[in-house]
Amino acid sequence: MIKIKSAFDFFEIGMIRQYLTENDFELKFSLKQKLYYSIIRPLLPISVRQRLQKYFNAKVVYRQDFIDPFLIDLILSTEGGKPILRTLYPASFTNALVLTHDVETAEGMKFVPRIIELEKQYGFRSSWNIVPYKYKIDEGIIRLIRESGHEIGIHGYNHDGKLYYSEKIFQERVRSINEALKNYGAVGFRSPMVHRNLVWLQQLDIEYDASCFDYDPFQPFPGGVGFIWPYQAGKFIELPYTMPQDHVLFYMIGEKSIRIWKNKADWIAKNNGVILMLTHPDYIKEKNHISYYKEILQYLFTFKNTWHCLPKELSSYFHDKLK
């Protein structure tokens, strides 16, 4: 059991645990999932996997606005909720914006400079989560990320879906993941496919993890923490992504606009939360999706009293706040 602590000292974290399922903190593979990730998935071409995902995801029942207000409404209805929300962030900021990207292939890495240039137009910086043992890391692009004032994070081990297959496999990979964290000066981690086990993750040398989400029923292990703010999970800060992934919007439900992103961002800002984006250069470079990404950047640029920060800056601030 790990100790969970939020900035809401009046709020019983046990209520959060009661609301959540075991998948939200301690992922457990079923026999069917073990067979899929160990035997079936490695044999399937990406195009076949995508068709299967589309077939199964068509059956998912979901909130079309990707908003689950349960815990937010509970906090706001509690005495002291609103005053604490207004003092969560430094200075006069009333909410926060964090941009993150998971770089899943070498082709995706080639597209990183294009996105950095786009974000630069709005004065934005972001984090880039690289897979350390899957593809050749372009050191020139790593330098560009650093020189541009962006952040590097680590995205699993080799993205084979087996990191949480068993505790034995996880522990066998811990040393290599920690070496990658050290080599790239990274303090943050996100698990591939947002598989997660916050107990096992305590073994990583990280200041924050970003493998949870507030609401996303389309992931292999759905659920959702229902929280649009950072919270302390054991030794690290958990930064749940709060905006639906680009892959979910453009591939799983076939969205052709940024209306869901805009509506969710408005709602998060209204409730003093963290607008935490999770996109992939591998998908942004396809089918002119970069135009959608540019559009959401333009929209977020208009937000007032919003602290635009890197994940490591947000986690450092909440580490201090939760001492």
Alpha carbon distance 243, 290 (integer Å): 17
Give all domains of the chain, ordered by start, each with its CATH number.
12-321 (3.20.20.370)
Task: Write out the H or E segment, with its range, that includes residue 318.
Answer: helix 311-321
The per-residue pLDDT string of the chain (323 residues; one tens digit each, 9 = 90 and over) reads: 677 778 775 555 545 555 555 556 677 777 877 787 777 777 777 777 777 777 777 778 889 999 998 888 878 887 777 788 888 999 999 999 999 999 999 999 999 999 999 999 999 999 999 999 999 999 999 999 999 999 999 999 999 999 998 999 999 999 999 999 999 999 999 999 999 999 899 999 999 999 999 999 998 888 788 889 998 888 999 999 999 999 999 988 999 999 999 999 999 999 999 999 999 999 999 988 999 999 999 999 999 999 999 999 999 999 998 88
Alpha carbon distance 209, 31 (integer Å): 27
Alpha carbon distance 19, 2 (integer Å): 17
Residue 252 token pair: 């799983």
Alpha carbon distance 127, 284 (integer Å): 15
Residue 126 token pair: 């972001």
- Determine how β-strand 274-279 pairs with β-strand 95-103: parallel
Alpha helical stretches, state H, 167-287: 167-183, 246-247, 259-270, 281-284
Residue with the two structure tokens 């899943």: 104
